[in-house]
Structure 1
Amino acid sequence: MSGSRDGRCACGSIRYRLLSPPMFVHCCHCRDCQRQTGSAFVLNALIETDRVGLLSGEPEPAAVPTDSGQPHVIHRCPACRTALWSTYGGRTAVRFVRVGTLDDPAALPPDVHIFTRSKLPWVVLPDGVPAFEVYYDPQALWPRASLERRRAALGG
């Protein structure tokens, strides 16, 4: 990903820009993501909150229940209700930006497939992309620079 990437909600009221490449991109197949998106999986670009610039509008946070019981807040356009990004576990310094809301979602393919234990049987995972039944160890997969960014964002 070179330069910035812009994204928007369905109605265009909210526009945003990723001010740097994301740290990592997840393709999550968990039941929570399936239920919340109404789809087979969700693509999330993990990026520091201060690296997501709002160009117009202001998303509304909405807390949603999870199977884990951990906090999950989805930020949606107040007009069209498009989910733009989430925060998980109360960690607001990192956003999980919905790749599908980018003007060019093909620019951010997944770095990993997670929670494949609940992957729908007709979804075929690509060769060469790590896949895990549940979660994984970021230390083993993330580039060093991304790990450093994550550590700085989360304060440790």
Structure 2
Amino acid sequence: MFVHCCHCYWCQRETGTAFALNAMIESDRASLLQGELDVVNTPSNSGKGQRIARCATCKIAVWSNYAGAGDAVRFRVGTLDEPFRLAPDIQIFTASKQPWVVLPADTPAVAEYYKRSEHWPRDSLDRFVALLAARSGG
């Protein structure tokens, strides 16, 4: 639906690198092809936490689920079959980005978070609203 490149300190800490690249993908569009998962509950800056599904063997983070969308949306790019297809749609939490990271001029960037209605394409917004409606039963 949409791809964040997040530069917040939480993502830096959790990934061990300068940022996290997270595609918001409906759970039914991303599946585990092999192996087993260990799900780890971790804290998040929002205070609501996140669940990170890790490969039970190598412990790589396969996807995350954040509290706001629950199990309905999976977040991750690097573990997809073709991660090169998912460039960031927006750079977020740039106020805490590492000073040596150079942001592309043609990608929107915000100091913290943003309003979906101002940045998401209409079809992505529609998909997200439909997903949340189905999740809540209405």
TM-score relative to the length of structure 1? 0.80
Higher helix share: 2
Q: 2:71 aligns with which of 72, 92, 109?
A: 92
Match of residue 58, structure 1, among 36, 44, 47 = 36
Partner residue, 1:141: 119
Task: Please give the residue correspondences for 1:39-78 in structure 2 after superposition, counting only pairs within 5 Å.
Answer: 39-78=17-56
Gaps in structure 1 of 5+ consecutive residues: 1-22
TM-score (norm 2): 0.90
The offset of 1:67, in angstroms, is 2.8
Match of 1:128 in 2: 106
Give 1:31's aligned residue: 9
Q: Deviations over 1:12-62 (max 9, x none)?
A: xxxxxxxxxxx0111000111000000000101101111112222232210
Q: How many residues align?
A: 133
**Structure 2 portions without partners, runs of 5+:** none
2:90/2:107 contact within 8 Å kept: yes
State how far apart, in whole Å, the 1-side matches of 2:45 and 2:24 are.
21
The code of the aligned residue for 1:66 comes to: S
Corresponding residue for residue 12 of structure 1: none
Instruction: Report runs of 4+ in structure 1 exceeding 2 Å deviation.
Output: 102-105
The alpha-carbon distance between structure 1 residues 104 and 50, as it changes in their structure 2 partners (threshold 3 A), is closer
Across the aligned residues of Structure 1 and Structure 2, the Cα RMSD in angstroms comes to: 1.4
Please give the alpha-carbon distance, in whole angstroms, between the structure 2 residues aligned to 1:151 and 1:30.
Answer: 26
